Every structure is written in C-alpha cells, then in structure tokens.
Amino acid sequence: MVDSLGLLLAVYVHSAAIQDRDGAKTLLLKAWCFGWLRVIWADGGYAGQLVEWVRQLKLGRYAKLQIIRKIGPGFTLLPKRWVVERTFAWLSRYRRLARDYEVNTSHSTAFIYVAACRIMARRLANSSVD
C-alpha cells in the first residue's frame, strides 16, 4: 500500500497459495491505523466482497475502496495505477528485491521496508540541500 506520492505505507508479503484478494484484507487491517485515509484505489481484481468488507471495517471516518476497472480492449492508461507501478520500479532497483531470493516471507517484507527507508532518506537528504 502506497500513498499518492508512491511512498510506502504498509506491506504484506504472502505465499502464492493465498489469493491477492485475501491478502488485501490483511494489508487493509494494517492500514487501519491510518485514520486520515479517504480513498483507497484498487485494481479490478479486488472487486467483489472486498468493497463491502472495507465499508464494514470503517477505515477512518470517510475511507472507501474505489475499484479502478479496465476501460476497454488493448492498452489503456488506468488512473492512479502508475503510482504503484513506479513504486515497484523504485524497489526493483535493489538487488535483493529484483529476484526471489528469500524463502521466508518475513524476510522479503523486511527487505522491502529497508529499501523504502533508503528511498525516503535519500529524498529527505536531497530536499534539505535545496
């Protein structure tokens, strides 16, 4: 889960035996501490019972899950999708995250957090120079 700037908010790495829709519930439970969330954008693969589940969870006072559906056949640019894709590109620059080296999902989660900390620290260092 990333914010509108592409900075990491929460991570949940799970095995391939778990569907992404089920993993999203665990991730959204982690996001419960972010009471300032208003809109959560998700891919069309998360449509269905997850929308009602988020509504019942009451993430903050006004948070709602908005599904971004594919517009038509062929390539179309989906709104807000590029933010997450850009974050994946930033994270894949780190050798340990470029391949599936890890056996334990908690190790993968830890390395994602380390890479995200480095990305944010670099941004802070660059902004203090200006």
Question: Could you write out the DSSP letters of every residue in 50-104?
Answer: HHHHHHHHT-TTT-EEEEE---SSS--PPTTHHHHHHHHHHHHTSHHHHTT--SS
pLDDT digit string, tens, across residues 66-78: 888 877 788 777 7
- The Cα 102–Cα 23 span in angstroms is 19
pLDDT in tens, the chain (130 residues): 988 888 888 999 988 888 888 888 888 888 778 778 888 888 888 888 888 888 887 765 677 888 888 777 887 777 777 888 888 899 988 888 877 777 888 999 999 999 999 999 988 888 766 5
DSSP character at residue 109:
H
State if pTM tops 0.85.
Answer: no
The DSSP element (H or E) to which 117 belongs, if any, is helix 105-129
Yes or no: say if 96 and 111 are a contact pair by the CB < 8 Å rule: yes
Q: Which of 90, 95, 64, 67 is nearest to 6 (CA)?
A: 90
Residue with tokens 């179309």: 76
Q: Which of 126, 124, 125, 122 is nearest to 114 (CA)?
A: 122
**What are the extents of the domains in the chain?**
20-129
Query: 65 - beta bridge partners?
Result: 40
pLDDT digit string, tens, across residues 99-119: 777 788 899 999 999 999 999
